[in-house]
Structure 1
Amino acid sequence: MANHGWLPHDGKNIDLATIQSAFEAAMGFSTESFVGITQEALTVSTTGNSSTFNLQDLAHHNAIEHDGSLSRNDAFFGDDLHFNPVIWATTALRYGIRVPFSSPVITVETAAKARAARVKDAKLVNPAFNLTSQAGSIGETSVFLTAFWDESAGGVPKNYARVLFEEERIPYAEGFVKGNRTLADVVAMISKVGAVKV
């Protein structure tokens, strides 16, 4: 959202009100939706102000950032902050992005299985793998699904996912229109993702 100007371009000194305003304006999330995750971010803040954090702080390992990311490498291998095209290529394949004649959307089942497979992959290669809780990983996938869910299509349009991950922008040009999303919607999606047998 910093790329769109919803958050400060320099990624610095972000407070709860800024997060609430940005997520509502950019994606239609209600103000209570990201209170918890903002409070988590504040615990690793490097700003010197207990009510603000910098986006860079989110790379602090095992706070919000975690092993088994869908598009970033694990902290053990060095850069856990920047997009990793190799890791994303495997996730994109599991999502069915660029697969001819496949469904145009990512369903809950597809997303849940891709997430679990990425965690399994990371465990195999990272001798220091540590996912303190599956909840963060499931929650991340659930926020993504909730934000871009197309009810009529029964999933998230694959092109939305491609743009979000590969170009690091919200897919407005591809047709995304913000909805009205609440914390209850995210919690319901967490239940759906967690219920998929992987």
Structure 2
Amino acid sequence: MPSLKSLLLLATVCIPYAVSVDTDDHRWIAPGATDERSPCPGLNTLANHGYLPRNGKDISIPMILDAAKEGYNFAPDTAILAAAKFGLLSNSTATTTLNLDALKLHGLIESDASISRGDFALGDNLHFNETIFSTLANANPGVDYYNTTSAGQVQQERLAISLATNPNVTNTPKEITLRSNASAQYLMLMGNPITGVAPKKFVQIFFREERLPIAEGWKRSNVTINGTTMGVLSVAIQAASNWTVTQDCEPLVLGPMD
């Protein structure tokens, strides 16, 4: 998710794509002890701002569509909708809703070599991990933005770490697609949805606090983020990651059935 040569140019690129977000109706509130969250910071942020139920429970696909449109200006064909559809598969019984916690099911939308979560086989694949996130936090040194090149390099480094430390790492074509789409999303959401240039401070707040950095100057894009524009950035990120497949796709394993 091209490099810009100055802060002024970065601002010039980002400002035309921004509109205000109603902070009174959707102020950020940290999740409580009984609230459920997912491995996806995008969905968690929507819940923390009240675009989705703040308890993270009984969420339908239409609710996610409305929240993603209102909070992020996401079109229905983006990966966040795919996350919702796959999330329904995590339920043990037929249902039209999901709880965010269900999305931690390994191999569904969650993947190894995440840029903010641990590998499933190594422990906690649900909660934010600062040590893991440091790879992204320290990326693209010398400038105050991330782009598709830095995002790809972060993916490459994170995968190398997983391959070296996780004997059960999953690294199929599905995983690289999930990872590249997720990287494209944070660049588009927090920066320019066309160029994929995003201020570091916005991205870091988004991951660490799962909060829209409105107070810091972020504004929602007025350019609708769709699958086509996201796909362009995702392809560029994957190319920059110098990725190599190490195994074939595995069959989907659903949760326990009653």
Q: TM-score, normalised by structure 2?
A: 0.69
SS in 1 for 2:98: coil
The number of equivalent residue pairs is 192
Counterpart of 1:112 (choices 132, 152, 170) is: 152
Distance 1:87 1:142 in 2: 18
SS in 2 for 1:94: coil
Q: CA deviation at 1:197?
A: 5.5
- Structure 2 residue runs of 5 or longer lacking an equivalent are 1-45, 243-258
Distance 2:127 2:241 in 1: 30
What does 1:116-127 correspond to in 2, within 5 Å? 116-127=156-167
Q: Deviations over 1:8-29 (max 9, x none)?
A: 1111111111111111111111
| Structure in which a larger fraction of residues adopt helix | 1
User: Residues 95 and 168 of structure 1: is their aligned pair in 2 closer, same or farther, counting only changes over 3 Å?
Assistant: farther
- Alignment of 1:196 with 2:236, yes or no, is no
Partner in structure 1 of residue 138 of structure 2 = 93
Higher RCO, 1 or 2 (CA under 8 Å, sep at least 6)?
2
Distance 1:64 1:32 in 2: 16
Q: Deviations over 1:138-172 (max 9, x none)?
A: 11111112222237986100001110111121222
Q: CA deviation at 1:192?
A: 1.8
Counterpart of 2:205 (choices 149, 153, 163) is: 163
Q: CA deviation at 1:59?
A: 0.5
The answer to whether the Cα contact below 8 Å between 1:26 and 1:178 also exists between their aligned partners in 2 is yes
Counterpart of 1:45 (choices 91, 105, 117) is: 91
Runs of 4 or more consecutive aligned structure 1 residues displaced over 3 Å after TM superposition: 151-154
Counterpart of 1:76 (choices 105, 111, 121) is: 121
The answer to whether the Cα contact below 8 Å between 2:155 and 2:241 also exists between their aligned partners in 1 is no
Superposed CA RMSD in Å reads 1.9
User: Residues 81 and 197 of structure 1: is their aligned pair in 2 closer, same or farther, counting only changes over 3 Å?
Assistant: closer
Task: Tell me the amino acid that sits aligned with residue 55 of structure 2.
Answer: D
Distance 2:194 2:177 in 1: 28
User: Residues 197 and 75 of structure 1: is their aligned pair in 2 closer, same or farther, counting only changes over 3 Å?
Assistant: closer
Q: TM-score, normalised by structure 1?
A: 0.89
The answer to whether the Cα contact below 8 Å between 1:62 and 1:131 also exists between their aligned partners in 2 is no
Partner in structure 1 of residue 30 of structure 2 = none
Rg larger in 1 or in 2? 2
Between 1:54-63 and 1:23-32, the stretch displaced more is: 23-32
Distance 2:179 2:241 in 1: 15
Distance 1:152 1:39 in 2: 26
Distance 2:101 2:159 in 1: 23
